[in-house]
Amino acid sequence: MNHIDELTEYFRKFPGIGPRQAKRIVLHILRQDKALIENFVSKIKETFGSVKKCPDCNRYFDHNNKNEKCEICRSVNRDETEMIIVGNDNDLETIEKSHVHSGKYYVIGSYFSLNLDEEIIKNILNKLLKNLNNRSGLTEIVFALSATPDGDYTCQKIISFLKENLNNKNIKITRLARGLSTGTEIEYSDSNTIKSAFENRD
């Protein structure tokens, strides 16, 4: 395998990138000015060095300011009684822009699928459970996962696990209403759709 093919294989691992698209990206990179590519590589390294996961919500945030938690988890104005569980960082940002939620968040980081290693699922579930059990003022957990087969499977798996293992059995567990059409991903939903799904959660 030559260098072009090797680099193409790396880009194929990105979500939504097929083999032809990956090859086009590599060829586009090769046509760029060398200084631009060196700056690009430098910025990737810099990002890896300055970004970390928030220990409270599990989202990525810029650690350059030396804060141990992200700005949402540091805020004293957020509602501690309500938490939204989302699949990824993009979903969190989409919900934040809709201004329907003033509480906290938790990012599970990966949707479950039938072929996902059970050990990975177990680790995600246990990490989430530990986080929730450490929140004494929590009264409601809202699931805001994409209305896709993987989103539904993930939601069912986590809810079943939490109902059995949460210390506080009185925490209300809800999920966004089907204002989200089947097949819809959270990050591509508009604010009005998110607002309607949130207000009619059950």
Q: 91-131: per-residue pLDDT in tens?
A: 999 999 989 999 999 999 989 988 888 999 999 999 999 99
Supply the pLDDT for residue 29.
Answer: 95
Tell me what the pLDDT averaged over the chain comes to: 89
Fold of 3-48: Helicase, Ruva Protein; domain 3 (1.10.8)
- Which among 147, 148, 154, 162 has a CA at the least distance from the CA of 197? 147
Is the distance from CB of 111 to CB of 146 less than 8 angstroms? Answer: yes
For domain 78-199, give the CATH number: 3.40.1360.10
| Cβ neighbours of residue 103 closer than 8 Å, sequence gap 6 or more | 78, 79, 80, 81, 82, 83, 84
The yes-or-no verdict on residue 202 having pLDDT over 70 is: no
Supply φ then ψ for residue 177, to 5 degrees. -65, 165
Instruction: Convert the pLDDT of each residue in 138-186 to its tens digit.
Output: 999 999 998 888 999 999 999 999 999 999 999 999 988 665 555 567 7
**How much is the pTM?**
0.81
Residue ranges, comma separated, of all CATH 1.10.8.420 domains in the chain are 3-48
The yes-or-no verdict on residue 38 having pLDDT over 60 is: yes
Supply the pLDDT for residue 180.
Answer: 56
